[in-house]
Amino acid sequence: MLEITRIREHKDAIIEGLKKRGIDAKLEVEAILVTDEKWRTTLSELQTVQSSSNKISKEIGVLFKTGKTEEANKAKEETAALKAKEQVLKQQVGELEELMKEKLYSLPNVPLDVVPSGVSEDDNEVVEEIGEKVMFDFEALPHWDLAEKHGLIDFELGVKVTGAGFPFYKGKGAKLQRGLINYFLDEAEKAGYSECIPPLVVNEESGIGTGQLPDKEGQMYHVTEDDLYLIPTAEVPLTNMYRDVILPNEDFSIKISGYTPCFRREAGSYGKDVRGLNRLHQFDKVEIVRIEHPDKSLAALEEMVNHVKQLLSSLGLHYRILRLCGGDLGFTSAITYDFEVYSAAQERWLEVSSVSLFETFQANRLKLRFKGVDKKTQLCHTLNGSALALPRIVAALLENHQTTDGVEIPKVLVPYVGFERI
């Protein structure tokens, strides 16, 4: 949610910035400012009324105490009109606030200057491509065939027990998962992130805090009985740890990592996009989250990008980095770098990480602030990134490192999985 003060002061820049997302927000922004103005005048009116009725009440107190009952009763009658007025104004203020919230919630974050404009993924900017396509002198198999051939993943069993998109990992396939998780967590720790195991279900407030709610209910599994949501990413619980928090000074840099399964309903997907590990309803991911001073958030973003690069390089994968265009940018993000690995047998790029800076957009909803030197509270910046999402990494590892009779395990993983090849 954008800060209202920012909208008041930089209306035109916001409208201009949002054009990069392919939306013309002029009318919405202006409507917000009108509502804001109305809210302020109504609030001020209400407070004047409250002030005078508070005053009278105090006087009544004194009158009763000094035994002037008659005068007190007379004063009581005076308040009736004020009360009625207060009632009406209070309701108006409430309605305006509701309206305001609704409007603000529906406005996405403003992209940073470097974000290219564009409407679809075709307009994303390739920032860097690292590694080379693997060449095979035999018929390379897609990972679902490799998984079956080597008994690593059982998709059909998942369908039987749960449904499509919930595979079983078995034997070396399961060990590979566990090894990757541990490897990623260890690397995050080396980079200064402290590990956390959060709850896998969250309440509505948390969903709102990070921006999954309202609007994107459909993406999350909702446990209606208890009104809880299965997390679509560890970002939700990890960032919400700091909901309603005021950090005591400006000298902070919070770095958290966490492994969790992630649950996504992904309604509406079909075809080769969802084949094998390409898109699952439940998958594992190690997430890194940062809470930074506004002056330090860009540097943090760069650090996170480098962290992910290092992970992908260490696994010997061919990958590229995209700077998402305005149209492809998530609702809450000001800038996002996507990492895609090349899947040699499917011959397509698979997204394995997404690193984003939200500036104050989430912090505003979260009420996540710090105390500045002048004792004023200010909103923090939040960031997060996948480091990394497992299934597509596994897909790429299997496909890119396959041989005619097995799969080579990257050296860095060998100590984690306990074998050199599958």
Give the nearer residue to RNA in terms of CB position, either 47 or 404. 47
Tokens read off for 153: 């993943």
Beta carbons of 32 and 3 less than 8 angstroms apart? no
Residue 185 to residue 286: CA distance in whole angstroms: 7
- Quote the least distance from Cβ 368 to RNA, whole Å: 11
Give the nearer residue to RNA in terms of CB position, either 37 or 420. 37
Which residues, listed in sequence order, are joined to residue 230 by a DSSP beta bridge? Answer: 201
CA angle 153, 158, 162 (to 5 degrees): 160
Residue 81 to residue 388: CA distance in whole angstroms: 63
Give the nearer residue to RNA in terms of CB position, either 65 or 267. 65
Give the nearer residue to RNA in terms of CB position, either 380 or 393. 380
Q: What is the C-alpha R_g of the chain? A: 27
The region of 36-44, 267-275, 295-303, 345-353 touching RNA under the rule CB under 7 A is: 36-44
Laid out side by side, the sheet with 377-379 consists of 246-247, 369-371, 377-379
Give the nearer residue to RNA in terms of CB position, either 47 or 306. 47
Residue 11 to residue 2: CA distance in whole angstroms: 11
Give the nearer residue to RNA in terms of CB position, either 55 or 133. 55
- Quote the least distance from Cβ 18 to RNA, whole Å: 22
Please select the residue that binds RNA; options are 38, 53, 71, 134, rule is CB under 7 A.
Answer: 53
Asked if 47 touches RNA (CB under 7 A), the answer is: yes
Residue 13 to residue 18: CA distance in whole angstroms: 9
Give the nearer residue to RNA in terms of CB position, either 77 or 139. 77
Per DSSP, 324 falls in state P
Site for RNA in 243-262 (CB under 7 A): 246
Residue 168 to residue 174: CA distance in whole angstroms: 8
Residue 312 to residue 353: CA distance in whole angstroms: 10
- Quote the least distance from Cβ 245 to RNA, whole Å: 11
Tokens read off for 19: 């054009």
- Crossing angle of helices 172-190 and 297-314, rounded to 10°: 140
Determine phi and psi for 202, rounding to 5 degrees.
-135, 160
Please select the residue that binds RNA; options are 4, 23, 112, 274, rule is CB under 7 A.
Answer: 4
The region of 51-59, 144-152, 215-223, 300-308 touching RNA under the rule CB under 7 A is: 51-59
**Total interface residues for RNA by CB under 7 A:** 30
Asked if 44 touches RNA (CB under 7 A), the answer is: yes
- Quote the least distance from Cβ 299 to RNA, whole Å: 26
Asked if 306 touches RNA (CB under 7 A), the answer is: no
- Quote the least distance from Cβ 102 to RNA, whole Å: 18
Residue 298 to residue 263: CA distance in whole angstroms: 29
**Contact pattern from residue 317 through residue 336 relative to RNA, giving x for each residue in contact according to CB under 7 A and a dash for the rest:** --------------------
Residue 362 to residue 250: CA distance in whole angstroms: 18
In a 3-state reduction of DSSP, which class is residue 402?
Answer: strand
Which residues, listed in sequence order, are joined to residue 256 by a DSSP beta bridge? Answer: 194, 289
Query: H-helix or E-strand containing 20?
Result: none
Site for RNA in 207-246 (CB under 7 A): 246
Site for RNA in 362-391 (CB under 7 A): 369, 371, 375, 377
Site for RNA in 54-83 (CB under 7 A): 54-58, 60-62, 64-65, 72, 76, 79-80, 83
Asked if 91 touches RNA (CB under 7 A), the answer is: no
**Contact pattern from residue 181 through residue 200 relative to RNA, giving x for each residue in contact according to CB under 7 A and a dash for the rest:** --------------------
- Quote the least distance from Cβ 294 to RNA, whole Å: 15
Q: Where are the alpha helices (DSSP H) in 191-274?
A: 204-210, 235-240
Binding stretches for RNA (CB under 7 A): 4, 40, 43-44, 46-48, 50-51, 53-58, 60-62, 64-65, 72, 76, 79-80, 83, 246, 369, 371, 375, 377
